[in-house]
Structure 1
Amino acid sequence: MALRLCRGCAGRFTRPCVISSKSVSGRGKNDSLSGKRWFSVLSRSPVGHGHRMSVDTPISQQFRRSMFIQTQDTPNPNSLKFLPGQDVLGEMRTLDCPNIEAAGASTLAKMLFKIEGVKSVFLGPDFLTITRTTEDLEWTLIKPHVFATVMDFFASGLPVVSENAFSGSAAEADYGDDTETVQMILELLDTRIRPTVQEDGGDIEFVAFTGGVVQLRMQGSCSNCPSSTATLKHGIQNMLQFYVPEVESVEEVTTEVDEVNDQEYQKMEKKLEELRQKSHDNKENT
């Protein structure tokens, strides 16, 4: 039985027994059939709902003819999901790069950070999510650069991540003493929750289970999303408690990197506001 769940993060997991993948119909006002915006990739002239990008070599030209990139809105207004029409990491793998320092294992992520206005990059199984620095920066200024970067990278044939990109990631999680309960939690996360969250360009990472509390880290579009708290408490927590009585609550945890990024972001927002106010005052004085 398929169930079309609500648009936002919150309301997705109200009935755990009927969770399923949802349609994206109606998300994009430019495409009445799928709700996604399509981009073909041959020249810079507008075609349909997208743009065709210029090419340089016969090899890249042949590759780009067969590559179509879609964009999809997320519940986070500062994050946009890009679907290149082929695997990015594959096999339910994800890589969260909140800053360029965390992108060392991915050449693609490092290239995307060179684009002005990119705050963070999240790589998923068959998509990537870009989070912009501020809402004042229009997506129309960022998207063409992302399209060109993604197409050039995949045309190069380079691996998205290095071979040791995921080594040691599982060891960071704290399974505690109750490994049986943790295995049940992990299975629910992987089979019922993560696929749905990834459809919105994000992911959740299990951190620890201690004292009846499940600690999770929000990634991609879920990080700093206005709906993330509702997703945790009214969605993920309800589902885990329904299937695993040992779960008392679910909490979000952040890393020191996340905290530093938030502090820097707030400083930048404050500086931009001061510049806007100064510009406004100058106009009034003249």
Structure 2
Amino acid sequence: MNLATYQRMMVGIPRTIKNAAGFTWTSMKHGIGRSITIEAHTTPNVNSLKFHPGQPVFLNGTRDFPTSRAAASSPLAAAIFRIHGISNVFFGADFVTVTKTDSLPWENVKPAITDAITEFFTSGEPIVVDEGETYSEIDEDKSEVVMMIKEILDARIRPSVQDDGGDVALVSFDPDSGVVAVRLQGACASCSSSKATLKDMVENMLMHYIPEVKEVIAIENPEAAAAAAAKEAPGGKAAAGRGPGGGSYVTPAR
């Protein structure tokens, strides 16, 4: 064993291997038996990466943390948001999607994100400390059309979107106008191709299978919108702290 290998084992210096799928980061904490391998993969959103820790992350569906205030309900999300330049954290079944601000290079934040994930999964802490909120206004709606919308989203749309590091949450259906409202989460929330995803994938498929659906629209996350508006207001970050409360958002498992 050479000196560099020994230092990585005992101190936790990350090692990177670049490959076609993205990057594999190996971070070792406090010697043998405390290691975790994290793979980071690109998404269609250049500002979002999927981090795979090689173990389950969130098994009750998906969970979206659109602001640092929402992240207070998760030790891991809170730790990632403490890194400068992070704008969104999203949990899937076996991955964590992290979205950064547009101007910040990945090499400035990726090692810190990897360290935060490594430290969390070696800490034994719970992934979340509350049940979170749900986006949907129609959880109790058992109409045939709503059930069909949910079925198509779960079976044909959400798996593909989750592969890209995000999710689609059903918010509402208006039977009079035929309008379905959804929220895009994770990497999809700020992706430049999100409009294409909404129209080409979600709207076209729902309209094809369900004649009652006439249009699909995206509803912006209310807390993220309030935080963005507050930052643009006089006072900047100080004003953002006075925005509405709210937590992270859960989309149930398929």
CA distance 1:239–1:247, shift in 2 (3 Å): same
One-letter code of the match for 1:169? Answer: T
Deviations 1:252-273 (A, max 9, x none): 0113313223335668xxxxxx
**Alpha-carbon shift at residue 63 of structure 1 (Å):** 3.1
225, 248, 252: which one pairs with 2:191?
225
CA contact (8 A) 1:129 1:202 kept: yes
Are residue 94 (structure 1) and residue 62 (structure 2) matched? yes
TM-score if structure 2 supplies the norm length?
Answer: 0.78
User: For 1:131, what is the secondary structure of its paired residue?
Assistant: strand
1:1-286 equivalence runs, <5 A: 42=9, 43-44=12-13, 46=15, 48-49=17-18, 50-56=24-30, 58=31, 61-64=32-35, 67-91=36-60, 93-133=61-101, 135-162=102-129, 164-166=130-132, 169=134, 172-174=136-138, 179-210=143-174, 211-263=177-229
Same amino acid, percent of matched pairs: 39
Say which structure, 1 or 2, has more relative contact order (CA 8 Å, 6+ apart).
Answer: 2
CA-CA distance at 1:117 after TM superposition: 1.4
In 1, the alpha carbon distance for the partners of 2:152 and 2:48 equals 26
SS in 2 for 1:48: strand
Instruction: Give the Cα–Cα distance (whole angstroms) in 2 for the partners of residues 48 and 189 of structure 1.
Output: 36
Higher-strand-fraction structure: 2
Larger Rg: 1
CA separation in 1, counterparts of 2:16 and 2:204? Answer: 45
Measured after TM superposition, the shift of residue 46 of structure 1 is: 3.7
Q: CA deviation at 1:200?
A: 0.5
Shift, 1:169, TM fit: 2.3
Displacement after TM superposition at 1:175 (Å): 6.1
TM-score by length of 1: 0.70
SS at 1:239's partner residue? helix
Residues in 2 aligned to 1:200 and 1:47: alpha-carbon distance in whole angstroms: 22
Report the Cα distance in structure 2 between the residues aligned to 1:219 and 1:80, rounded to whole angstroms.
13
Q: Which amino acid aligns with 1:89?
A: F
3-state SS of paired residue (1:99): coil
Alpha carbons 1:44, 1:51 under 8 Å: kept = no
Deviations 1:80-122, CA, capped at 9 Å, x for gaps: 111111110025x111111111113211111111111111111
Q: What's 1:18 paired with?
A: none
2:216 counterpart letter in structure 1: V
Counterpart Cα distance in 2 of 1:258 and 1:54 = 34
Which amino acid is 2:78 matched to?
Answer: K
1:159 alignment partner, SS class: coil
May I ask how many residue pairs the two structures share in their alignment?
219
Distance 2:142 2:29 in 1: 55
Counterpart-to-counterpart distance in 1, 2:98 and 2:37 = 17
Is the contact made by 1:88 and 1:124 (CA closer than 8 Å) also made in structure 2?
A: yes
Q: Give the whole-Å Cα distance in 2 for the aligned partners of 1:169 and 1:45.
A: 37
CA distance in structure 2 between the aligned counterparts of 1:169 and 1:183, rounded to whole angstroms: 17
Pick which of 230-239 and 252-261 moved more: 252-261
Structure 1 gaps of 5+ residues are 1-40, 268-286
Please, what is the CA RMSD of the aligned residues?
A: 2.5
User: What letter corresponds to residue 77 of structure 2 in structure 1?
Assistant: A
Q: Distance in 1 between matches of 2:108 and 2:43?
A: 18
One-letter amino acid of the counterpart of residue 204, structure 2: N
Residue by residue over 1:121-151, the C-alpha shift from the partner in whole angstroms, topping out at 9 and shown as x without a partner, is 1111111111112x32111111111111111
Displacement of 1:177: 6.8
Seen in structure 2, the aligned counterparts of structure 1 residues 256 and 206 have a Cα distance that, compared at 3 Å, is same
